[in-house]
Amino acid sequence: MPANLTPQYSEAEQEYRKAQTPEEKLACLKKMYALLPKHKGTEKLQADLKTRMSRLREELEQARHAGKKGVSYKIPRQGAGTVMILGAPNVGKSLLLRRFTKATPEVAPYPFTTREPQPGMMPWEDVQVQLIDTPPITRDFMEGYLSSMVRGADGAVLMVDLGHDDGPTQADDVIQRLAATKTFLVGADRLHDPENGEEDFDDRIMRVKALLVANKCDLPGAEERLAIVRELYGDRYPIYVISAEMGQGLEELRTAIYQMLDVIRVYTKEPGKPPDLKAPFTLPSGSTLLDLAGLIHKDFAEKLKHARIWGTGVYDGQTVKRDHILHDKDIVELHI
């Protein structure tokens, strides 16, 4: 340690040792540098402080760039599937989440109330679907993290405002914004359409099942605007007409959202015991007995010998093999 360092310098140095973040460290180093007597005896220390400061600046710069690209929200998947609620500002996304779930996002008559994605669980019969309310998408702006969230979801609800004249075209802005990130909202029947053609060779392209929800059907002029919506989107998406405010169409929509997931429910039972009818497993349609076993426990898939099934296409308690295709509401007794 060179001589004649001031007590202030030593204090600053102590602070530096305790600093937690790169920002704090940099601030302390700056202070130390300022307090350091500049003469030949401290030259080495001056150089050392400068090196450390420039390293920290680099580190902060990199973090800032990474941060810009990578603000992401990790919402753990829950329930039978995850469906994003998408749309322009003020179309009623947050109110829809309130209607279907216990979540309480802010609902307000001005745009950009919702800045962060907000999940909620929507009950449907004996299962739950995860809905995620999102910040608005406009021609000019979409939160950077949204496209990857949409790509990771099982489906999307694209909301259109029947309450004002821009509603129909605003929906197209949402579609285009996402398309610019190679994320395409498509009707379920187009998910694996051979006419998608060569697009299918581009592995950055992601198609996400969507249905279109025309909201605010209670407002004047809604009918005329609905006609435009049908004209513009009717051949691309199934259209559900609702009023989130008044409650029209909500139960049909609830069922449609669940059905969009294309899953089946399967109940399990242990030999000699009644089935657990409270907590079904959900699996993609077309899943086999082996898929179910793997979902319950990876050891189960290996050890599974056969199963008995009560349900569709079998007689009660029929013994089936591992590749048997399951149906909605089957009750399965696994034998390992």
Ligand X SMILES: Nc1nc2c(ncn2[C@@H]2O[C@H](COP(=O)(O)OP(=O)(O)O)[C@@H](O)[C@H]2O)c(=O)[nH]1
At its nearest, how many Å lie between ligand X and the CB of residue 216? 4
Decide the pairing of beta strands 263-269 and 306-310: unpaired
Specify the residue, 28 or 185, whose C-beta has the smaller distance to ligand X. Answer: 185
Closer Cβ to Mg ion, 113 or 196, answer by number = 113
Closest approach of Cβ 171 to Mg ion, in Å?
A: 16
Taking a C-beta distance cutoff of 8 angstroms, is the pair 253, 241 a contact?
no
First to last CA, the chain: 72
Helix, strand, coil shares of the chain as percentages rounded to 5? Answer: 40, 20, 40
Amino acid symbol at 171? A
**Chosen from Mg ion, ligand X, none, partner binding at 245 (C-beta under 5 to 8 Å by type):** ligand X
Q: Pick between residue 108 and residue 180 the one whose CB is nearest to ligand X.
A: 108
- Chain residues 250-289 in contact with Mg ion, contact rule CB under 5 A: none
Q: Of the candidates 5, 26, 81, 94, which one interacts with Mg ion according to CB under 5 A?
A: 94
User: Which residue number, 116 or 299, has a Cβ lying nearer to Mg ion?
Assistant: 116
The minimum distance between CB 172 and ligand X, in angstroms, equals 16
Residues that bind ligand X (CB under 6 A): 87, 89-95, 107-109, 113-114, 136, 215-216, 218-219, 243-245
- 215 scored as a contact of Mg ion (CB under 5 A): no
Partner from Mg ion, ligand X, none contacting 324, C-beta within 5 to 8 A by type: none
Q: Which stretch binds Mg ion (CB under 5 A): 7-15, 47-55, 73-81, 85-93?
A: 85-93
Tokens read off for 44: 């080495």
Q: Which is nearer to ligand X, 228 or 250 (CB)?
A: 250
Instruction: Map residue 322 onto helix, strand or coil.
Output: coil
Alpha helices in 71-124 (DSSP H): 93-100
26 or 174: CB nearest ligand X: 174
Judged by beta carbon distances under 5 to 8 A according to partner kind, the member of ligand X, Mg ion, none in contact with residue 220 is none
Q: How far is the CB of 331 from Mg ion (least distance, A)?
A: 41
Q: Is 114 in the site for Mg ion (CB under 5 A)?
A: yes
Q: Which of 214, 81, 228 is nearest to 157 (CA)?
A: 214
Residues paired with 308 in a beta bridge:
319, 333
CB 291 within 8 A of CB 275: no
For residues 97 and 86, give the distance between their C-alpha atoms in angstroms, rounded to a whole number: 11
CB of 1 to Mg ion, least distance (A): 59
- The yes or no reply on residue 101 touching Mg ion (CB under 5 A) is no
Both tokens of residue 118? 């907000």
CA distances (Å), origin 59, targets 49, 65, 69, 242, 267: 15, 10, 16, 51, 53
Under DSSP, the state recorded for 136 is -
Interacting residues with Mg ion (CB under 5 A):
93-94, 113-114
